[in-house]
Each structure stands twice: as structure tokens, then as C-alpha cells.
Amino acid sequence: MTPRILIQFEGVDVSVNSRTYNFLVIDAPGQSRHFRVRVPAELFRATRLQFQDGPPISFERLQREIDGETSESHARAHLSIAETDIHEYLKRHYPPKDRKRGPAPRPVF
């Protein structure tokens, strides 16, 4: 059985070039680690990612990194969000709406 972990969001550091989301990961009572996930500011402007998406996309990125840990390979403490991460996140959380083809029929009176 995989040990249960707890990931807590601790806040964000905002700079001109990026937003860095800080997390505390508690592996077991008394055992914790700090992680930082950086999102370059340009990716907010270049994609549909909004500032309120910063914490959840960073949480998901950290969760993937932790899920991939082995006894020989541990998660890196400093992670970054790439444009591919954003596109995958947007597809999962903001799926495209079904578009109707052609104009809607007009009611006949």
C-alpha cells in the first residue's frame, strides 16, 4: 500500500517574470518537504491560463512528480510549468464546447 501524503498550498511569490507557488508535502507525521512550482508570466499571456488556475495546475504538476517517485528517485524541490502542461490542463478543466453547425433554425409562427 502506498503511504498517504498530504499536500498543502502555502502561498505564492509574484514577480515580474513569474508566479511561484509554494507547497508543503507531509509524507508521514513529522516528515515534511517543501516544493516550489514556477509558472513563467509569459505563459499566462500566451495561453488561456488565468491567475486563478495557478494553484491547481501547480498542485497537479507536483502530484505527478510525487506519484513518479521511487526509492531511488525523489521529486525535485523546484519544478516548472511548461506550455504542454498548460494545454493538457486546459483540455481537462475547460473542454471545448460542442459547436452547432450552421445557424439555429428559426421557429415558424
Task: For residue range 28-38, list pLDDT tens digits in order.
Answer: 878 999 999 99
Structural domain includes residue 28: yes
Residue 109 is assigned to a structural domain of this protein: no
- In a domain? residue 71: yes
Asked if residue 102 belongs to a domain, the reply is no
Q: Is residue 1 part of a domain?
A: no
Assess if residue 18 is contained within a domain.
yes
107 versus 27: the higher-pLDDT residue is 27
| Structural element, H or E, at residue 14 | strand 6-14
Q: What's this model's pTM, rounded to 2 decimal places?
A: 0.82
- The number of angstroms, rounded, from the C-alpha of 79 to the middle of its chain's C-alpha atoms is 11
CA-CA distance, 49 to 45, in Å (whole number)? 8
Q: For residue 107, tell me if it sits in a domain.
A: no
Tens of pLDDT, residue by residue over 39-58, are 999 999 999 999 999 999 99
**Per-residue pLDDT for 1 more than 50?**
no
Residue, of 2 and 105, whose pLDDT is higher: 105
The answer to the question of residue 50 being in a domain is yes
Between the two ends of the chain, the Cα-to-Cα distance in Å is: 66
Q: Structural domain of residue 24, as residue ranges?
A: 6-93
Number of structural domains in the chain: 1
